[in-house]
Every structure is written in C-alpha cells, then in structure tokens.
Amino acid sequence: MTVREGEARRAAVLGSPIAHSLSPVLHRAAYEELGLADWTYDRFEVDEAALPGFIEKLGPEWAGLSLTMPLKRAVIPLLDEISDTAASVEAVNTVVFTEDGRRLGDNTDIPGMVEALREHGIDRVESAAILGAGATASSALAALSRICEGEVVVYVRSAARAAEMREWGKRLDVEVRTEDWDDAAQALRAPLVIATTPAGTTDALTSAVPERPATLFDVLYEPWPTNLAARWSAYGGAVVSGLDLLVHQAVLQVEQMTGHAPAPLAAMRAAGERGLTRA
C-alpha cells in the first residue's frame, strides 16, 4: 500500500459490543510514535445486519478496519480478496482499502499468536492442549499448525464442538484429538496450554495446576490475571497474556494499514497496559 503523506486517513474497529475495545488505544499510540498526525482511529458499534451499509458509506480517506465479534465471518462476502491465512479459518479481523478501491481481508490473530509465543521463547512445541472450541480456538489451532510438531488435544463441552475441531484439524493439517471438558485438568500438563474460554470458565481448574507447569497462553486480558494465570505464575510457569496477543495482532494491522514497518511494539504495549489500568 502506498501511503499518501500529509493526507488525513481514517481507520476504526467495528464490532458489537465494542465499548471496551483497546484497539483505539493501541493504534493511536502507534500513529503518535510514527508521526502520523493526520491519522485517526475510532470505534463503532456495528452488528452483522449493519455491516454492509457501514462499509458502503466509507469514503476514500479510509485506510482500514479492525473487526471483532460478530463480524469476522460476516465481512467475507463484502471483500474483493482474502488472504490464505484468513481463508484457513474463515475469519477476517483486518480489512485494508487499496488506492484503487479494492477491499482486502486478512487475519492477524493467527500470526499474532505465533509472535506472542515467540516473544516468550516458544518457537516449537512437541504437543499442545486447547481449552475451548470457539472461534478463538480455531485461530489457536491455525497458529499451532505453524509451531506444533505433534498432537493437539482440545477440551470441549459438546460432541458438535468436538466434531468441528477435528474438522478444523483436517483442514489445517494438525493432528487433533478431542476430550470432554470434565477432563480438562489433564490439559494443564501439556508443554503448551492455550485457554480460549470466556472469563471465569477456567477458574475451577486452578487447583489442578501442576507443581512445575510449562507455558500457559491465556487469551483473556481483562480481568487480568485470570485465576488460572495467577496460579500458573505462582508455580513458576511461563504465561502469555491476551494483551500480548492483542498487541501483536495490532502491530500487524498497523503495518498493513499505514505501510510503516516495523510498527512500534513497545509503545503500543505500554499504551495497552495504561489502558487496562484505567479501565
């Protein structure tokens, strides 16, 4: 993308609910650090029904959009092209508008997960476990397809979810085994545990944290730390947080939307930490 210097550009995050999104904090910090004084980044409450009309009304000043739930799949028919990464999980969290008016979709959650793990020294793992089977779990599985050498065990609450995760495994060329959520305590002994469940869901597993835990990637960032992450850290295990993921995926979005690389990771992380403190 060619950035038109000195011209006011716009970007925003869309979703529902959206009021507590940290994306504006991260992107604005990047713009400030990069000297993009004419760039703005906002948030808009937009659901699936309103999305087509919202996008159609955007003018040439728009550089890109960040998308959160429930729009990551709904946006796909509205785009001219999506990346292989986005297609692999049928989810787009990043839209870039080109100068010739094309709408390009990508998924930065997946490489964001990989980069967040790499930052904590995790480049390869022999096996892994995923807690949960929603949309974030499929992105986690896609990230693991890049770094996991062996089996991924996914702990789920229903047979339908189990079948979905096994199907994702086939599509992503990952060896997936599913187990019932009642046995989720077993997951905590894996070399890498990725918790993708809503707040409070893993609280009951806290007492099952082993004495020498390996690495936990908990995708939540508020409230933080989760009870599971706090116990994990207390026992000396490595913890990757949802803020790590949020920052790394936002770094990739900033680079795509602005054309400036590398994006200022440290400044964006500091802004995110301040944002959480004020929340």
List, by residue number, the catalytic residues.
72
DSSP characters for 62-99? EEEEEE-TT-TTTTGGG-SEE-HHHHHHT---EEEE-T
Burial bucket for residue 279 (CB in 10 Å: 0-12, 13-18, 19+): exposed
The pairs formed by 53-59 with CB atoms below 8 angstroms and a separation of 24 or more are 54/14, 55/103, 58/97
Contact indicator for 31, 267 with CB cutoff of 8 Å = no
Query: Quick one: how far is CA 58 from the chain centroid?
Result: 25
Instruction: Output the CA torsion 241→242→246→248 (10° steps).
Output: 30
Distance between CA 44 and CA 55 in Å, rounded? 12
SS3 helix, strand, coil % of the chain, rounded to 5? 45, 20, 35
Q: Tell me the C-alpha to C-alpha distance, in Å, between residue 132 and each of 9, 29, 125, 194.
A: 38, 32, 19, 9
* Total length of the chain: 279
> Partners of 44 in the beta sheet?
14
Burial bucket for residue 242 (CB in 10 Å: 0-12, 13-18, 19+): buried
The widest CA-to-CA distance across the chain, in whole angstroms, is 57
Distance between CA 116 and CA 217 in Å, rounded? 9
